Amino acid sequence: MKKLLLIVTGILLMLGSCSKQASNDNPLLTEWNTPFKVPPFEQVKLEHFTPAFEEAMKQHKAEMEVILSNPEAPTYENTVEASYYAGELLGRVAGVFGEFNSVNISDELQALAQEIYPKLSAHGDEIGLDPRFFERIKVVYENKDKYNLTAEQIFLLENDYKSFLRSGAALPEDKKEILKGINQELSSLTLHFSQNVLAEVNNFKLVITNKEDLSGLPESSIQAAAETAASDSIEGWVFTIQNPSMIPFLQYADNRELRKEIYDAYVNQGNHGDEYDNKEILKKILNLRVKRAKLLGYENHAAYKTENRMAQNPERVFNLLNQLWDGILPKVKEERAALQSMIDKEGANFKLEPQDWFYYTEKLRKEKYDLDESEVRPYFELENVRKGIFMVANKLYGITFTPIEGIPVPHPETTVYEVKEADGSHLALFFMDMHPRASKRGGAWCGSYREHHFDKEGKEVAPLVNNVLNVTRPTDDKPALLSIDEVETMFHEFGHALDGLFSETSYNAGYIAWDFVELPSQINEHWAFEPEVLKMYAKHYETGEIIPDELIEKLKASANFNQGFALTEVLAASLLDMKFHMMTEEDANLDVMKVEKEYMNEIGLIPEIYSRYRPTYFRHIMGGYDAGYYSYTWASVLDNDAFDAFKETSLFDQATAKSFRENVLANNGIKDAMEMYVAFRGREPQIDALLKSLGIQ
C-alpha cells in the first residue's frame, strides 16, 4: 500500500539529489539509464547491497549534515524541504532491497536482511534523534505563519513536528539511547518473526499417495497438486498451506482427517516449539513496544499508535469493534447451527469443528443457492479479471493500461503496463506479480518503487506502482481460474494501486491515517460483482460465453452467505491485536497463546472458529498494522458509505468518480483524512450502510 514517510523513525526514504556515485560496477550506485528510470532489478546481485547501503547512508549523513550545520536561520526551504530532498540514493537502494526481500527471498537474502535492517533503524535514529534537526524543525513550526506555505506544506510541517515528538526527539540523551536500542531490537525481531512464518509455509507439505483421498476435490486442485509434487520430485499429490492450495482442499476434500491435518498446520504456524517458533519472539516484541510507549509518555502501545489516526484513541476502536461483534455473534451462531444440521442430516456422528466449516459451508451454499464455486471459476480466468479491473478504471477515470515490454522486473513472472490519462499522456507504470512461489512471502499487497513527486528542479516524476498477489496458478492444460475471494482480492489491491497512480504529492512525503488507508482498496471491491461489471469481464475461458444471468443471480443471492463467519474471524483478530497492545506494563512471563485463549473465551468467540490470524503468524502486526488491524473494519464504514454516493447517482458516474479521485486519492497523505472524506461526501461518514450490508440493523 501507499508508503507512509515518517521522517524521524525507521528507514528515511526521502528522495532528492545526490552526488556522483562512487562505483560504476554496482548497478545500485550508478545512474539508472533504464526505461522510465525503473530500478535495474535484473542487474542487481546479492553482493551489491552491502556496499550500496554503506555508500547511501554515508551520502545521506553528509546531505543532512549540510542542512543541520547551516548557519542561516531555519526556513521551510533550507530545513524541511531540504530534508525531503536528502537521501535519494538510500531510498532507491532500500526500495530495491525491500522488493527482493518480498518476492525473491533466499536464505542468503534473509541473513543479509537481519544485518541490514537494524543498521537502517540505527541510521534513521541517528538522524531523526539529532537534537539539531528537531530544533530547526521546531523553529520552522513555531514560525510557520511567516512563510507563504501551501496547504500541503502546512499539513506536512505540522505532522513532521508531531512525528518528531512521537519519535522521542524531545527526550533527554540517556533516554534517546534507550529508544535507539529498542528500535534496533524491534527491527531485528519483527523481521525474524516474518522469516519464521515464511519457513513454516514453505516447510509444510501434505503428501497424498492414495487417490481415494482426493475424493471431492475439483480436477483443477488435483492437477495443481500433481504439478506441485512433480516440481518437488515427490510421488503423488502435494498440498500446501498457501491459500490457493489450502482453501479448495478445505472446501471440497471429503477426507475429514486430512482436512484437519492441513488446517491444524495452518493455524499453528510458528507454534511448534522448534527453531521457527514465534511465541518468545512475539513476547519480546510486545514487551519492547510497551517499554517504548511508556518511554514516550503513552499508557500503552495502542494509545501511541491510534493517536494520529482517525480513531484517535483505543476506546473509539473498541466501541466500533464491540458494536459489530455484538451484532454479528447471533448471525454466526445461526450459521453454525445450519452447518451442524447438515452434518446431522447426513448421519455423521460428530460435532462441527474448525476444519469442517469451509467444507460444509460449500455444501450449504450448493443446497441453498445451487451455487458451487467450481461452477463460477471458469468465468474468472485471470486475464479476463485483469481486463475487467482495467475496464472499470477506464469507465470511472478514463485511464488506459497497455502492456509494455523491455522494462526491468524484480521477477520474471512480473508483467508491466503503461498507464495513460484519457488524453493519452503518461501517468505511471503498473507492475503485477500474481502467483505464489517459495521465494515469495504470502498474502497480497500494493507498493511502489517510486511515488509521485517533483524533483529539486521542479520536474514532475511519475510513480511506479506494483500489485503483488498469491492467486491460483495456471496448470498444464488450464489457465489460472480464480475463486470468488481471489477476484475480490484483485479488485482490492488494485484500489490501493489507484491511490498510488493518482497521487499528487509534491514531495516523496506523506502522512496517511492508517485507518483510512483501506478506503481506496475496499471501495474498489464493490464493483467486482455488480451485474453490469460481471458482464464486462466474466467470460468462460473455453467458450467465451458471458456469465449467464442465472449465475449472476446466484452470486447476488449468496453475497451475504457466510458473512457471519467472515466478519467474526476478522473482528476476533482485530480485538486480539488491540488486546495485546493495551498492555501497560512489561511482562517477563507473558504467554501469548494463553492470552489468546482466555481473551477469545472472554469475548465469546465460538470454538468452531479461529481468529483469522493467531498470535504466532499474525504478520500484519509486524508490518504496520500493530494496534491497527481494526483498520479494515474502520474502513468498511467509510467504503460502504462512500459507495452509496455512486449508488445515489450511477455505477460509473464520472462526476462522482472525479470527486473521489480529486478529493481522496490525489490528496491521500497530504490532507487530513476526515477533511478529505467530507470534501468528497459532503458530510462525515455514517455507519448505516455497513450495518445494512451486514444485515444487523
pLDDT in tens, 179-205: 999 999 999 999 999 999 999 999 999
pLDDT score recorded for residue 23: 55
- DSSP of 514-543, one letter per residue? TTTTTHHHHHHHTTTT-HHHHHHH-B-TTT
* Beta strands at 426-433 and 464-468: parallel, antiparallel or unpaired: parallel
DSSP-derived letter for residue 403 is E
Closest Cα partner for 409 from 664, 39, 681?
39
Active site residue 493: yes
Task: Please name the residues in contact with 295: beta carbons below 8 A apart, sequence gap of 6 or more.
Answer: 168, 171, 175, 178, 179, 182
- DSSP of 256-290, one letter per residue? HHHHHHHHHHHHTTT-SSSTT--HHHHHHHHHHHH
Alpha carbon distance 561, 544 (integer Å)? 28
Delimit the CATH 1.20.1050.40 region(s) of the chain: 27-170
User: What are the two backbone dihedrals, phi and then psi, of residue 637, each rounded to the nearest 5 degrees?
Assistant: -60, -45
Q: For residue 403, what are the β-bridge partners?
A: 417
Q: Distance from CA of residue 654 to its chain's centroid?
A: 28
> Nearest 10 degrees: CA dihedral of 486, 3, 398, 674?
100
Q: Name the catalytic one among 63, 381, 493, 525.
A: 493
179: left (phi over 0), alpha (psi -120 to 50) or beta: alpha
Alpha carbon distance 139, 647 (integer Å)? 48
Which CA distances in Å does 451 have to 418, 602, 660? 15, 44, 20
- The architecture that CATH gives domain 314-376+561-651+660-694 is Orthogonal Bundle (1.10)
| CATH 1.20.1050.40 is the classification of domain 27-170 | yes
Amino acid sitting at position 361: T
Question: What does the block give as the cell for 394?
Answer: 477506464
Beta-strand ranges (E) seen in 344-476 are: 400-403, 415-420, 426-433, 445-450, 453-454, 460-461, 464-468
Question: What does the block give as the cell for 109?
Answer: 537474502
- The architecture that CATH gives domain 378-547 is Orthogonal Bundle (1.10)
Delimit the CATH 1.10.1370.40 region(s) of the chain: 378-547
Q: Which residue has the cell 544485518?
A: 115
Share of the chain above pLDDT 70, in %: 96
Alpha carbon distance 60, 66 (integer Å)? 10
Q: What is the pTM of this model?
A: 0.92
Q: Which residue has the cell 499528487?
A: 504
Does residue 498 contact residue 520 with C-beta atoms inside 8 Å?
yes
Delimit the CATH 1.10.1370.10 region(s) of the chain: 314-376+561-651+660-694
Alpha carbon distance 43, 31 (integer Å)? 13
Alpha carbon distance 531, 544 (integer Å)? 17
pLDDT score recorded for residue 16: 32
Residue spans of the chain under pLDDT 50: 1-22
pLDDT score recorded for residue 623: 81
Does residue 203 contact residue 195 with C-beta atoms inside 8 Å?
no
